[in-house]
Amino acid sequence: MQKTLTFLLLFLLLFLSVHLQLQCEAAAINVDNDDLIEKICRKTPFHDLCVATLQPIANTPGSNIKGLASSVANIVLGNATDTLHYIEGLIKQTSDPKEERALAECAELYISVVKYELPQAIEALSKGQYGFANYGISDAAKLVDQCDKGFPGKSGSPLSDRNKLIHSLSQIAVAIINVLAKG
């Protein structure tokens, strides 16, 4: 009876210590990533947005700057794709021809961003062609800015918040890639 108890107790201790060790390792990974994110985001023009964007995706071990850059570029692409769908939805709803024209121009701009500019930039980034990657992302940010300009009337662009977010995320991506390029 006593032997069984001792055995159980030992087993429990062993289990607890392994469990604790695993938890400590996980915590250490998070601290490392938080440090990296903080360091990188300080070099971008939108520190808080940068941290908020990177923190949820950077909890995997071995995060590095290139991985973070590519994650941000993919988030820009995700937002741009989402916005393109949103524009297509607005086009279906509007009855104002001027508004419809402005939306159609935005859709065209977003199609180049989603189909060409960003995918090419992401591929360039993966090959270490940082200059080319930044060129594509900056170009995407410029195209997105143009989208706001075509809307008539006082109420202006129904897309300005989305455009602004994509513009800011692009600038964050460019800043991180600049850090990479400097090595």
Ligand X SMILES: *[C@@H]1O[C@H](CO)[C@@H](O)[C@H](O)[C@H]1NC(C)=O
Q: Which residues bind ligand X (CB under 6 A)?
A: 53, 75, 78-79, 82, 169
Smallest distance, Å, CB 75 to ligand X? 5
Smallest distance, Å, CB 12 to ligand X? 42
Contact at 8 Å (CB) between 163 and 141? Answer: no
Smallest distance, Å, CB 50 to ligand X? 9
Complex with ligand X: residue 81 or 94, whichever CB lies closer = 81
Smallest distance, Å, CB 81 to ligand X? 7
For the packed helices 118-126 and 65-93, what is the interaxial angle rounded to 10 degrees? 170
Complex with ligand X: residue 23 or 59, whichever CB lies closer = 59
DSSP codes of every residue in 97-158? HHHHHHHHHHHHHHHHIIIIIHHHHHHHHHTT-HHHHHHHHHHHHHHHHHHHHT--STT--T
Instruction: State which residue has the least CB distance to ligand X.
Output: 78
Q: Which residue do the tokens 């055995």 mark?
A: 7
Complex with ligand X: residue 80 or 107, whichever CB lies closer = 80
Contact at 8 Å (CB) between 54 and 44? Answer: no
Complex with ligand X: residue 1 or 48, whichever CB lies closer = 48
